[in-house]
Structure formats: structure tokens, C-alpha cells
Structure 1
Amino acid sequence: MKKFVLIILLPITFIFGCMKKKTVDLIVFNAKIYTVDSLFSTAEAVAIAQGKFVAAGTTDEILHRFKADKMLDLKGKTVYPGFIDAHSHFYGYGLFAQRIDLTATTSFEEILDIVKKWADENPEGWIIGRGWDQNKWKQTEYPDNQLLNELFPDRPVMLTRVDGHAVLVNNKALEISGLKLNENKKFAIFKKDRFTGILLDNAADIVKDAANHPADEEIVRALKVAQEECFKSGLTTICDAGQKVRFIEIMDKLQQKGELKIRIYAMLDPEDESVRFINEKGIFRTGRLTVRAIKLYADGALGSRGACLLMPYSDMPETKGSILFSNDFYSKYCEVAYASNYQVCMHAIGDSANRFALTLFAGFLKTSNDRRWRIEHAQVINEADFGMFGKYNIIPSVQFVHAVSDMGWAEKRLGSKRLQNAYAYKKLMSQNGWIPYGSDFPVEEVNPLPGFYAAVFRKNFNGEPEGGFLPENAISRQEALKAMTIWAAKACFEENDRGSIESGKAADFVVMDTDLLNADEKQIRQAKVLKTFVGGEEVFSEQLNH
């Protein structure tokens, strides 16, 4: 009798055990989920526990295996891994949001009106604005500081161009900064021996340093403003491309207190304090913050003609730009990075600057490697140099949206022949088989969708031009989505922790009202982020913000 009972009870116990559901923190179901795993598979539901994805599958499978107090029925909405911006200026965006916004201006006269109004409302301190672009004006020449000197003889003014590589300053700002024009002539614009107020790159940085001395409270406010905008756009991780140790330490403290939830991959500025940080801490990781890169600049920007070209500018044949620093400067920081297994991330726009960066990197990397040194922007490449990206596994870290932002004047700067190897994202992607995308905000929008759209259709977010700009370098929708998720994570050595919806990875994801892989062009331009999650925690909800 005992044997009979045992035989009957064992199967019942086994069946009961199989039916028992595992408790998790959150179940998301009735969705279309692009996991962006190695097979680019889709799912309908996902289970999340302790901030990580546990499993993905059909709605029936997940609801059969798991239970949770928090259940999110998405009613057919689309889910993607949290978007990752591989190149941005996170703190800079937050700081810019507290300055005079000049991005929509169409003339210097309009700028003066805006600046005068702001100055009346804020009667003390520096007058600082950002965002003007002379290429959008009827008169596309640089502005002049004569009127600024008349309006503000005793108050410093600094107005930064949209790309951040040129500033317009008045005489008072120049005086306070201590900048010596005779020692910085190649970074200053003159007309008939008279200084116009325009400074480029290295000289501009001297005035920026004089103008910007934020208190900790202002830094905290800037970081929180930037985080809010990122979450609205579905960004869960950002790469801050060039930052001081002081600001990184404040980011770390805010994250530890739970006030800054966004994940940050920070590139250090090239300065002695950064070297001390690297030597003392090595690769620094907390789960929310990673520091393992140093940011260098080879040249300036194409729009301000600071990009370094092999041959002169087509619209200004007396100049071809220049490399910003000495060979010793670049070698010093590359040596520090190489010894500590840090990335070097080199800004390079012009074909001469890209050749310089590629050659410099090759001298350190020697052969195939997994150090993932990056060239930021890789905007204009000489035909003979593309192969160096693949040979030395150098990552072209690009901004798809720059192509369509610059298309109105790029040919004027470069001529038609050089233009064929500019913004060549498909060609660059072929070198290593993958490519990361960053927006470069605040130069461009925080929203990554204009970049996705530009990558696929080679058009701006107004749907222009018909047929696309240099359409032979368009990439597929899958590739564009990977560029802002798993490939962006890989560019930061984070692909095992985030960038796709897979078991064990951080539960960072975004819910949208649009299927980007199948929607038509107009639908993509109208797409909205509905919810953003970091580590399984909802950090933005469209419904809660209306």
C-alpha cells in the first residue's frame, strides 16, 4: 500500500513543481519586442527581476512561467533596447539649456535683439549664448563684434557657434580671458588686420574657460536637465565625449544618491588631472558610470572651416585648417591610455585630420586588436585611408544626422570630388562590420530618431531631399537600430551588460508607438517615445508628462 501511494504521489508532486511560477519584479507583455540579439529575434513579453532581464518569449510562455505584482500590458506597442548615444555632450547640453538659445536664429540682427533682451533681464555677469550658424543666414560670412562692443563695452559677451568650435566675443571678454591674439593668430579671424571677434578651437577654449566657472549647484542642475531630456527621447546610456574629473565625480555622487539614474560612459579631457585619475583608479566602473576613455581633438569643424584638409577649402582656398596640437601632446596621452587599457577617442573631421589620427593610432596598435580606439566623426576620408579602419580595428564613431545637417553647404566647402568620400557611413561600416551612432547633442537634437532616419533614408527630418543625400551610403533599418543599441554598447565595451534584450543584461528598454523596422517614412518622423526604463525602473512616461 505504501509503495502504491508513493508511485501516485511522486508524479503529482512533480507536476505541481513544474506548474509553480517564478516571482519576478515586472512582466511586460502583449508587445512587439525587438531584442537586437545575435539573431535579431523578436518576442512578445519579457520578465524582469533585480534590474535585469530574466527571459523573453511569447506572452503565453512568459505568463505561464512567471508572476509579478507589476504587470505592463502594452497592447501591441513596440519595445526596443534602451537607446545608447555613443557620442554626446551630456553636461554641456544641460549647461547650454541655461544659456541664451540661438539655434533658431536666421540673421545676426536677430541674435542682437535676443542678446539685448536677455541682458536687460539679467543685468550682471557674462552674457553667454550658443547655437548660431552663419550657414543658415542670407549673408553666410562670419559675424563681426563691432556692434557687441558698442552695446556692451563693460560686460563680457561670448556667443558660441552651433558646433562648439567657434565663438564670437567682444573686446571685454577678450580682455578678461587674457588671450594674446599675437600668439593665437591661426585661431583668430581678421579682416584687414582688424580682429573680428571670431575665435576658433584652441583660442575659443581659452575664453570658454574664463567664462565658465559653474558652482556645484549649477552643475547638478545641468546634469538633471540633460537627464530629463534624454529619458524623454528613450536614451538610457550616453557617452559624454570629453569631461573634467570634477564633473565626473559629481555625476558619481548623484548616481550613488539615486538622483542621476542614466548610465554614463565618460571620456576624460586631456589634462594632468585626468592622468592622475587614470593612474589612481584605472578602469572605473560602478554599474551606472564607466570611465575608460580619453578624448582628443585632431582638428575643428567643417562648418567653421577649422577641419584640417589635405587640400585647401573649395570656398576659401587660402586655408585648409590645421592639426590643433603638437605630436608630443598626442603621443603623451596615447601612451597613458595604451598603458592603462583605456580607449583613445579622437575627434577628426577633415581628411588630413583623419589620416593623422589613423596613422597615430596605427603606431600604437600595430596590428589587429580589441582595444577599440575610436575616431569620432570620421567625416571626410581620403579614398586611400578607409582600409586603415579595418586593418587596425579602429572604430568610426559617427553622427548620421550630420550628413543631412551639413548637406546644404558641404559641397561648397569640399567640392564634388571630396564630397564622395564624406559622410560615407556604409563604406566605413564595412571596415569592421559594425558602426556606432551618436548624435553629438547639443550640436544636434537629443532625440536619436532623426539620426536613425538620416542613416536609412539620407534625408533630414522634413523628408528632404527627394532621393536622399549621397544615398549610396545609406544603411539598413536593422543596422541603424544596432548602431544606437548593441553597437553603441560595443563601442564602450558594454555589449555584455546592455544594448540588447537578453537574459542577464540590464533591463534598459524603451516603449514606442511606432515599429521603426516596418513603418513608412512619415510614421517614423512622427514616432513618439511612450515609456523609458532603466534597470527595470520606469524613468519616463508620456502619459504622466501630459
Structure 2
Amino acid sequence: MRRIFSTIAFCLLLACIAFAADERILYNGKIFTADTTHPYAEAVAIRGDKIVAVGTFAEVSKAVSGSAEKVDLKGNLLLPGLIDSHAHAVDGGLSLISADLGESASTMEDLFKFAAESRKNGRGMMGDVLDVSGLPLEYWSHNKELNEHFNSGDYAKVPVYLEGMDGHTAWANKVLLERAGINKQLISGLDQTARGYYGFSKDLEPNGFLVDLGNEKVEQIMPKPDAARMLSAARAAVDYMHHLGITAWLDPAVSDAILAAYRGLAEKGELKSHVGALPVIAFKKGDPDGQFKHALDLRESFKDVPDVKVIGIKVFADGVAEIPSQTAVMSKPYLNTGRTGELLFKPEDFQRICVAAEKNGMIIHVHAIGDQAVTEALNGIQAARSSNPSSKLPHTITHLQFVRPEDISRIHDLKVIASMQLLWARAEVDSTKLLKPYIDPYLYGWQYPARSILDTGATVAGASDWPVSTADVFQAIYTAETRKGPEGVLDPSQRMPREAMLYAYTINAARALDRQESIGSIAEGKQADFALVDRDVLTIAAEDVRDTKVLWTVFGGETVYGAKP
């Protein structure tokens, strides 16, 4: 009997040692919990990958053993792991390891130099094609210079593909256009709407500019990254997100190749992030029902893959609004053309797919830039809600650049999450010179109406659309609060409260992933995901918010960026 008691005591001792080694108390800092009932705390205790207590130091100390490790936050601000509700992460990873112009150029000469270097060092070569991404949209106004430079000399026989930073526009030289079958004969056979996806001269010769469906025609014949390169891109994306304090994201528009890269990382135990993945239903490609069935099959195939799940579908309602594209669908015509953009689905087809998604428990995530595209997106989600009034699925509309006031209330009433890239809600070339002269003045006045959406009680979730723009949360928070850009201030009435933006990038974004029960706030029972930042972003001057740095990031109790806490 004595031997039995000794064995039990020894086992209990081992258990206590194990708990102590796996237990920590984080204290001596400001803690924003993103729990609206208790938004701030003094300390938090974790055991393994879970949070076991939140409150005062004395309170959380009772939840762990006396040997728990004490982690001094040294007065810094602890946040829940940050969440991005719309980021093309693997595509972003590809931009990190490829020839992405980013902020490397401000003149045409800078572009020409960057392209030459990218060709020479091989960073920009995809097969035999020189592929440079991340071009600012104002470069498309220099079509003459692009044609002169990339259709002669060293490039006379080299296919060249220049991708716009918006992910919708591009430019191809004559060699690549010919390879894709884009020529005068093609343009002349298109109707007026279809011609809008191509740039061309008065005699219908293509000039290289491409947008949306025109761009897709070139992408179809572009050399594709192999599996090893996709895995490297996914790994680079995870590292990038972690250094920004981001531990979860929604990846909209995943291909089978992107999903394979996520699976590869997850099965190696390297993903260490929560990923909600959305395949695209592209109505213009035909057979949307077959595409939806494929999405359901993907969900099934990923149900046991750790950290990454297929949780819904992505649908493009329209394109983009800036000139020369103007493919966003507006309720009033563009002032320079009289056209309104093309809806990328038939409303009845979209509504049918929305009802099917609702029936199968799939989230609907809609790209909508123009105000009429927003209306049609809401109509589809309304059909889904009507088919299942008790639904709690977090259907989402993303971008929401132009929204009419009557639709702002519908966002709330239909329980739609507004996934907004508020880094864009500032006065800059893209939102002024490339838009204002061409958009109906009334509609232009309802650009990125984030505060109006928030004031209805609707859920606003933070998003970046990386690699279209940086995924740095604090730059986005600064812009959302100030609406300041290089061209001035964009509609100050839509400025967002700073605390609301912290909720947007934590618990609200978790709702967009349908993961609010397990992540998104610092609360007992949730996963121990944290980001420690170097300043109190709740109290400092707005101008200082954008320079905030992440000191360390923790995912499931494990440090994935920075010095181990």
C-alpha cells in the first residue's frame, strides 16, 4: 500500500513539474483583451496552448501552479493575435520572393532599371517571361513609354508581363499578347462591354493594357510556379504575417496550388497560423454549380488538415473603379464613357449559389467595389438569409469602396460583415486623380463609408488585401482614424475610432473566419495567440500609431516571432 501511495505521489509531482514548465503568467503591461465585457486586464495566465485565466495578477495566479513562469511585459501593450479578414497570403509570399516593384520606383526610369535588374538576376523570370508585379496604377497612363521600351531593343523577342498592384490590371508587350491570342482580330470580334477589358487604339490594335477578364487571358498562358516555389512562398508569407503580429487570416481566391502549399506547411507543422481558405466561384467561366461542388469537395479534403480549413466561397461581383479600368459596377455611369461597368454574374445565378452555400454551411465572401455591385451582393446574401432565417454564418462583403446610404443599413440588417481595407481610405492618386473626375459626385461622396457602417451597429472587420497593400495593421489603423494621404484628407466624417479598429483586427475579424469561439480575444479557454507591441496604441498621438512595432508574436503558446517571452 505504501508503494502505491509513493507511486501516486511521484506521478503527481511529475504532473506538477510538467504544468509548471508549461504555465506562464503575462503581467506588468497593458492588456487589451478585445472582450467587450472586460476589454482590459492586468494579467493573463496560459497553460500549454490555451488561456486559463484573465484578470488581476492575484486572480490569474490562482489558476496556475506556484512554479508558473512569470513573463514581464515591461509596460508594453499586449493584444490578441491580430487577424486579417482578407489577405492573399501565398500570392503575397510570391511577391516577396519574386520581382515586386512595391515602393522601389517613382519614375518610368526606375521601372526600366528594376525590370532590367530583375531579368539579369533571374528574380523576375517565370519561364521565359519577364514578370514584374506591384506597379502603381498611375503607370498605366504611360502606355506610350511602356510600348516604346518593352517592344524594342533587349525586349523585342522577350515576353514581358507587368502586373498592377491592385491585382486586377496588367500590361503585356507584343510578344506576350501574340502568345495569348490577343490581337486586332480578337478585339474587333468583341462587343462593347467585352472590349472594356482590353486597351486598344482607334484601329483596334491592342496597346498592352489589360484588366480583369483580359488579364485572365494572359494569366492562363503564363508559366506557373512549381510546388517547391509555392511552398517557399507560403513559408515567406507566414514569416511576414508573424512579424506583423498576425496569427490568422482569411485567404480569398485560393487555387488548388495555393491549397497544396498550405497543406504542405501544415503537415510539416510549419504553418502555425489559422487560415480560412475560400475557392473562387467564377461565373464567367461557366458551370458555377460544378465549381461549387468542387469547393465542397475541397472542404471535405481539408477537414483533418491542422490550422487550414476551406470555409466558404469567394465571388467577384465586379472589378475596379480607377481609370483606365472602370470595371467596378456603378449605379450611375462613369462620366467619361457613359458606361456603368459589368456585373460578373447574373443575379439569379448568384442568388442560387448563395442559397446553396447557406444550405451547406459555406461562408459567402463577395468582392464589391462599385455601389451597384454592393447592392447585388446584398441581394444574394438576402436570398441566403431568407432561405434560412436562423442562420449565423458570417457572410461578408469586402472592399465596399462605394456604398449608397440605403445599403449601409442593409449591411447591418442582413448581419453582413464589412471586411474593409481602410489603408485605402485616404486621399491619394488612386482615390482622387484616377477617380474623382470620372465618378458621379454624389457616389464619390460615399467612398469607404466605414464610420457610417459602424454606427449602424454592423461588424467592421480589418483587412489588407495583401499584397495589394501592406498587411501592417497599424498603418491601416492610422489611416482609418485620420483618412490622411499624400493628397490631403478623404471625407473626414468617415474617420474610425481607434479602439473600434483594434476590435476590427481581432474579434471582428475572427467572426469573419467563423472562429470567434476559439480566437480573436484574450479570454479563458481560447487559444493563446498574442502580439506584444512597443507602445500603447490606444493613447498615443495618431501620427505615432503607424510606426508601431511588434516585439513578439505567440501562436498557441509558442513564440513564432521575436525574442521568447
Match of 1:223 in 2: 234
Q: Deviations over 1:193-235 (max 9, x none)?
A: 2211011101212212321411110001000111111111110
- Offset at 1:248? 1.4
For residues 142 and 41 of structure 1, what CA distance do their matches in structure 2 show?
Answer: 55
Q: Deviations over 1:427-474 (max 9, x none)?
A: 1223443211101111111211111112222224x8x73xx4211112
**Does the 8 Å CA contact 2:235/2:265 hold for their aligned counterparts?**
no
The correspondence of residues 393-404 of structure 1 with structure 2, limited to 5 A, is 393-404=415-426
- Offset at 1:91? 0.7
Q: Deviations over 1:362-408 (max 9, x none)?
A: 23322674222211111101233223222322222111111115444
1:440 partnered with 2:465: yes
For residues 557 and 476 of structure 2, what CA distance do their matches in structure 1 show?
Answer: 26
Match of 1:308 in 2: 329
Which amino acid in structure 2 is aligned with residue 533 of structure 1? V
**Does the 8 Å CA contact 1:529/1:542 hold for their aligned counterparts?**
no
Paired residue secondary structure (1:294) = strand
The correspondence of residues 145-294 of structure 1 with structure 2, limited to 5 A, is 145-151=147-153, 152-179=155-182, 180-181=186-187, 182-183=189-190, 184-192=194-202, 193-270=204-281, 272=290, 275-279=293-297, 281-282=299-300, 284=303, 286=305, 288-294=307-313
For residues 351 and 358 of structure 1, what CA distance do their matches in structure 2 show?
Answer: 11
Paired residue secondary structure (1:433) = coil
Give the structure-2-normalised TM-score: 0.85
For residues 176 and 218 of structure 2, what CA distance do their matches in structure 1 show?
Answer: 7
Aligned in 2, Cα 1:189/1:326: closer, same or farther, shift over 3 Å? farther
Aligned in 2, Cα 1:273/1:425: closer, same or farther, shift over 3 Å? same
For residues 155 and 436 of structure 1, what CA distance do their matches in structure 2 show?
Answer: 43
- Offset at 1:144? 4.6
Structure 2 gaps, min length 5: 1-15, 283-289
Aligned in 2, Cα 1:485/1:359: closer, same or farther, shift over 3 Å? same
Paired residue secondary structure (2:537) = coil
The correspondence of residues 386-397 of structure 1 with structure 2, limited to 5 A, is 386-397=408-419
Structure 1 gaps, min length 5: 1-19
Paired residue secondary structure (2:220) = helix
Aligned in 2, Cα 1:171/1:377: closer, same or farther, shift over 3 Å? same
- Offset at 1:510? 0.3
Paired residue secondary structure (1:127) = strand
For residues 275 and 156 of structure 1, what CA distance do their matches in structure 2 show?
Answer: 36
Match of 2:6 in 1: none
Moved more, 410-419 or 473-482: 410-419
Match 2:314 to one of 295, 298, 302 = 295
Moved more, 429-438 or 329-338: 329-338
- Offset at 1:141? 6.9
For residues 442 and 142 of structure 2, what CA distance do their matches in structure 1 show?
Answer: 23
Q: How many residue pairs end up in the alignment? A: 519
Match of 2:25 in 1: 27
Match of 2:442 in 1: 417
Q: Deviations over 1:119-147 (max 9, x none)?
A: 2333762111111124379x577865343
The correspondence of residues 324-403 of structure 1 with structure 2, limited to 5 A, is 324-327=344-347, 330-331=350-351, 333-366=353-386, 369-403=391-425
Give the structure-1-normalised TM-score: 0.88
- Offset at 1:86? 0.4
Match of 2:455 in 1: 430
CA RMSD of aligned residues (A): 2.7
Moved more, 175-184 or 253-262: 175-184
For residues 143 and 257 of structure 2, what CA distance do their matches in structure 1 show?
Answer: 38
Match of 2:528 in 1: 507
- Offset at 1:491? 1.5
For residues 180 and 221 of structure 2, what CA distance do their matches in structure 1 show?
Answer: 5
For residues 136 and 166 of structure 1, what CA distance do their matches in structure 2 show?
Answer: 11
Aligned in 2, Cα 1:203/1:361: closer, same or farther, shift over 3 Å? same
Match of 2:515 in 1: 494
Aligned in 2, Cα 1:250/1:280: closer, same or farther, shift over 3 Å? closer
Q: Deviations over 1:153-193 (max 9, x none)?
A: 32221111110111100122223334544445231011212
Match of 1:117 in 2: 117
For residues 349 and 178 of structure 2, what CA distance do their matches in structure 1 show?
Answer: 28
- Offset at 1:264? 0.7
1:92 partnered with 2:91: yes
Aligned in 2, Cα 1:285/1:354: closer, same or farther, shift over 3 Å? farther
- Sequence identity (%): 27
Match of 1:73 in 2: 72
Paired residue secondary structure (2:365) = strand
- Offset at 1:328? 6.3
Paired residue secondary structure (1:421) = coil
**Does the 8 Å CA contact 1:395/1:432 hold for their aligned counterparts?**
no
Match 2:35 to one of 34, 37, 49 = 37
Aligned in 2, Cα 1:327/1:210: closer, same or farther, shift over 3 Å? farther
**Does the 8 Å CA contact 2:234/2:261 hold for their aligned counterparts?**
no
**Does the 8 Å CA contact 1:145/1:168 hold for their aligned counterparts?**
no
**Does the 8 Å CA contact 1:83/1:509 hold for their aligned counterparts?**
yes
Paired residue secondary structure (1:527) = coil
Which amino acid in structure 2 is aligned with residue 175 of structure 1? E
Moved more, 397-406 or 49-58: 397-406
Paired residue secondary structure (1:26) = strand
Match of 1:51 in 2: 49
